[in-house]
Structure 1
């Protein structure tokens, strides 16, 4: 029979083992509604769903303290343009905003929209926009003013192109035709004799199909998702320029309450998502051109002298934008100068020095 001494030793050993064992902690699940007015058939929402969302949880799993429990709201809760208000008001937690739709609210995030014929390097364009946001306080503060936490820029446009019912071989072919476009990109056809039709991407197909427009300002990566070449199979490439057209944001009230570990994961994965989208968009641009040819259309590369002539015909939309921002007490000229300086330093094929005219 065990003696009192051996019983005591056994109890002591059990207590020692218990104290040495790690204390199990329950992983905290944080509810998140991820929102976009577009569906996951678009490359940006597809990669948000398939890469960004699981990658954040993968990063958080390294410590096991937290995980995000997602509710997807893609193309259901709001339509394109409605994301800003939905995220501001807490209907969504994290989401994508098209900056061109909200130039009245966050004008300083639209510099790549007013600088055509500067760069077709989408990764660089998005990276420079991020750098500007982090280095010029007023840019980030513009988002915070509306209760939004800026996480990063992301682009889906390697270079704008014009898709049309009939071939456009040169600048003279623009005379009198109606062109659907979204927001600031309609400024890119001023001076060519075309008529801009303000719209949004999901409406382009129907507008051209019904005769409201004869062409659209699009880009290769969205051709397949929106079947654009079915109605506008002729693809004109003029190396018009890349645009960092999306911003990843979070509802600021929600974001400020989150642990540092969650905030860091969201910020870091946003950068990776930005880089992934630059690669995916470049690949998608080539596929879009191929799709137009498969629909019986054509791909026309505008000659260099025509590209330069196009750029020269445009009003200085960049200076107009910068001066309007300056007049409202915002550093528009500083943002423009910083953007163009970084593009010059990167050796980009700039057709017009927008900040120096």
Structure 2
């Protein structure tokens, strides 16, 4: 993965940051996967894959269309992250907030032009990497505060917030095609180590004590 940066003359310094845990917001209550049968759900880009074979109908959209899509009946819900949902006041048209725990999304990191970075004194290089690490920690702390504020804003706005049960989460993960392995195999076909990246990532999650509803690294 680092080589993909370097091929573009970029040096990855660290400071990785992401978007928070995605959730489901709907015009109807959701307590099981069965509640999604035939329902039209907005989702951004690849997140439509999270609806495959669930019985729901994925409708591609983005934050500029979600509110109107739900208000006009084009969609009956949306997959979104809480800070964006609160800012867009989606709870006004989709008051049922179900914490499915789809997971977070890596949004980026801090890089420098590699040809420039390589010319810098090791002290400067170390300082840049240390600063990126500090940014990452501060960003995460700030994000956690913003997420808490988003849930409070939605609740104050009349949202009904609930947790999807672990049983239903496992059921959801099981009915999906292995979208992670499909992604990996597609990259393998392009000469990139997709399967290696996937299995390494899943391995690190397990080592960190993360309990997965499904092992996506298995065929």
- How does the TM-score come out when normalised to structure 1? 0.55
| Structural mapping, 1:139-154, within 5 Å | 139-152=1-14, 153-154=16-17
- Tell me what 1:248 maps to: 109
Matches within 5 A, 1:91-110: none
Distance 2:150 2:73 in 1: 23
Between the aligned partners of 2:67 and 2:202, the Cα distance in structure 1 is: 34
Matches within 5 A, 1:1-357: 139-152=1-14, 153-157=16-20, 159-244=21-106, 246-250=107-111, 252=113, 255-256=116-117, 259-260=120-121, 263-357=125-219
Counterpart-to-counterpart distance in 2, 1:314 and 1:149: 36
* SS of match in other structure, 1:321: helix
- Greater relative CO (CA pairs within 8 A, separation 6+): 2
Contact 1:255–1:263, Cα closer than 8 Å, also in 2:
no
Q: Which runs of 5+ in 1 are unaligned?
A: 1-138
Q: Deviation digits for residues 218-267 of structure 1, max 9, x if unmatched?
A: 122323333222332221012222332x1124463785487445544443
TM-superposed CA distance for 1:162, in Å, is: 0.5
More strand by share: 2
- The TM-score with structure 2 as length reference comes to 0.86
* Cα pair 1:164 1:232 within 8 Å, conserved: yes
Per-residue Cα deviation, 1:149-179 (whole angstroms, up to 9, x for no partner)? 433321121x210012222222112122222
Q: Deviations over 1:294-325 (max 9, x none)?
A: 22220121112111111111111111111111
CA deviation string 1:95-140 (max 9, x = no partner): xxxxxxxxxxxxxxxxxxxxxxxxxxxxxxxxxxxxxxxxxxxx12
Per-residue Cα deviation, 1:197-236 (whole angstroms, up to 9, x for no partner): 2233343333323433221111223233332223322210
Q: Which has the larger radius of gyration?
A: 1
Between the two proteins, the alignment pairs up a number of residues equal to 217
In the alignment, structure 2 segments of 5+ residues that lack a partner are none
In structure 2, the CA distance between the partners of 1:264 and 1:280, relative to structure 1 (3 Å rule), is same
